[in-house]
Amino acid sequence: MLEFDVKVRSRRGLHARPAAQVVAMTSEFDSDVRLIYEDRNVDGKSILGLLVLAAPHGANLRVQLDGPDEKNAGDRLQALFDSLPTLTTANLSAE
């Protein structure tokens, strides 16, 4: 099992667009993916699950990966969260 934390950088939190990007990426792997925020623990391959987290801007999410490709999945998931935009008020409407 592999565990690490990621930070939600989007000013709107983990809303539909970044959640869809996470699900598209995690669905490529055989490993189980769990994301945890506060008392909520959800399937990282479920768009509904990620939206239920209601993780706001600045939230730290705990990621748990378990499976044959967990290392590769972890590297890619970390890179995805690092690449998600941090928005300013000037480009908030574009998201």
> Alpha-carbon distance 81 to 9, whole Å?
8
Annotated active-site residue 15? The verdict is yes
Residues 15, 57, 62, 76: which is the catalytic one? 15
Residues assigned a catalytic role: 15
